[in-house]
Amino acid sequence: MKRRKFITGVLGLGTAGILTGLYTWQIEPFWLEFVKISMRLKNLPNELIGKTLMQISDLHVGNKFRRSYLIESLKKAQEFNPDYVVYTGDYVSYESREQLDQLREVLKSVVKGKIGTVGILGNHDYAHNWSQPEVAQKITEIVTEAGIHVLRNDQVELKGLNLTGLDDYWGTNYYPKEIMSKINHDAANIVLCHNPDVMDEPIWNSYQSWVLSGHTHGGQCKPPFLIPPALPVKNKRYTCGQFDFADGRILYINRALGHLWQVRFNVRPEITIFKLEKA
């Protein structure tokens, strides 16, 4: 009797392990969640109250998973008809020039905002060892042709909303101090910054508003109640979701639409929809 129970238990554990593995590999990586959050902004013009801003991050177009998932997800996102759309980097998982054509294919379904569409670059957009600015420039051209205004240490004002985009922290064009010194603190501001580790850098010039990041993918696999074991940041506090800082900054880390490896557990892919409100 004891032997039978032991064998039954082993078979049960084995079945549970197989099912968990299949879920982690075939279901959760493609189980997209649209996360809706209120974004309270200082100095927000009255005419922008109630408008929506969609954040899409880390598409990672490449050979690691099927591109049809990205195309289908972008088409679903289009149905929300957002007022603003921001892309926070890592458009590709670069291996060769093949990814440039793949990116063009995916961006035929690009989501655009009724008021404006902007983006920044991530480390993978700088290709191998994050050190190929010529690849980053080519990706910038492709993304721009698709209708996304790429900010590389630059800012743009779109009907009362000031968007500042920092180039990637690990890339070859990370020069944030000059543009951060030009921010109008009397405007409604949002900073786009791919890598959340920049929050700990001395560049912020008394900035007191939202920062939208990606990069971490939430760790992709997160044991319950524990920090994900694989986070590509120095500050392991920066996993995903919202972080309020005592100095007035608010960080939001998107869990990513794509992934580096086709595996996710307890960290579903995400597109974020912020509803603009007055602080």
pLDDT tens digits, one per residue of 247-270: 999 999 999 999 999 999 999 999
Res. 16: pLDDT tops 60 = no
**20-24, 119-123, 271-275: the lowest-pLDDT one:** 20-24
Structure pTM? 0.93
Cβ partners under 8 Å of residue 79, min gap 6: none
So what's the pLDDT on residue 3? 57
- pLDDT band of residue 21 (cuts 50, 70, 90) is confident
Residue 134 tokens, joined: 């010529």
B/e letters for 233-267, b = 16+ CB within 10 Å, e = fewer, are beeeebbbeebeeeeebbbbbbbbbbbbebbbbeb
pLDDT digits (tens, 9 = 90+) for 55-74: 999 999 999 999 999 999 99
Task: Over range 2-8, report the average pLDDT.
Answer: 53
pLDDT digits (tens, 9 = 90+) for 200-239: 999 999 999 999 999 999 999 998 878 888 899 999 999 9
Res. 168: pLDDT tops 80 = yes
For 32-278, CATH gives 3.60.21
Closest by CA position to 110, among listed 194, 54, 189: 54
